[in-house]
Amino acid sequence: MREFFLSLRTFPSPAVADGVLMRPLHVDDLDAAHALSVEVQWPHRSMDWHIASTLGQGFVAERDGQVIGTGMRWKWGERHATLGMIIVTQRYQGQRIGTRIMQTLLEGLEDRDVSLHATTEGLGLYERSGFVSTGDVRQHQGIASPAPLMSFLPGERLRPAGRNDPPRLAALDLQAMGMPRERALRMLLDQGEIVVLDRDMEAVGFAVMRRFGRGLVIGPVIAPDLHGAKALIAHFTRLAAGKFLRVDVRANGELIEWVEGLGLRRVAMAIPMTKGAVAASGAIRSFALLSQSLG
Average pLDDT on 202-223 reads 96
Average pLDDT of the chain is: 90
Residue 2 predicted with pLDDT over 50: no
* Same structural domain, 162 and 283: yes
Give dist(CA 65, CA 170) in Å, integer: 41
Residue 5 predicted with pLDDT over 80: no
Domain boundary among 111, 130, 165: 111
* Same structural domain, 57 and 148: no
Q: Identify the burial level of 227 via C-beta atoms within 10 angstroms of its C-beta, where 0-12 means exposed, 13-18 middle and 19 or more buried.
A: middle
The dihedral formed by the CA atoms of 34, 84, 261 and 38, expressed in degrees to the nearest 10: 20
Question: How does strand 80-88 pair with strand 113-118?
Answer: parallel
* Same structural domain, 283 and 194: yes
Q: Which stretch of 9-23, 135-149, 173-187 has the lowest confidence by average pLDDT?
A: 9-23
Domain boundary among 96, 111, 126: 111
Average pLDDT on 166-186 reads 93
* Same structural domain, 282 and 157: yes
Residue 222 lies in a domain: yes
Q: Tens digit of pLDDT for each residue in 46-98? A: 999 999 999 999 999 999 999 999 999 999 999 999 999 999 999 998 899 99
Q: What is the CATH number of the domain that holds 97?
A: 3.40.630.30
Residue 40 lies in a domain: yes
Give dist(CA 175, CA 279) in Å, integer: 10
Q: Tens digit of pLDDT for each residue in 110-153? A: 999 999 999 888 999 999 999 999 989 999 999 999 888 888 99
* Same structural domain, 199 and 284: yes
Residue 9 predicted with pLDDT over 50: no
Q: Find the domain containing 167 and state its range.
A: 139-288
Q: Identify the burial level of 41 via C-beta atoms within 10 angstroms of its C-beta, where 0-12 means exposed, 13-18 middle and 19 or more buried.
A: exposed
Residue 280 lies in a domain: yes
pLDDT at 121: 87
* Same structural domain, 143 and 100: no
Residue 129 lies in a domain: no
Q: What is the CATH number of the domain that holds 193?
A: 3.40.630.90
**Total number of domains constituting the chain:** 2
* Same structural domain, 52 and 169: no
Which residues are within 8 A (CB) of 164 and not within 5 positions of it... i.e. 6 or more apart? none
The whole-model pTM stands at 0.90
pLDDT at 188: 80
Residue 185 lies in a domain: yes
* Same structural domain, 80 and 211: no
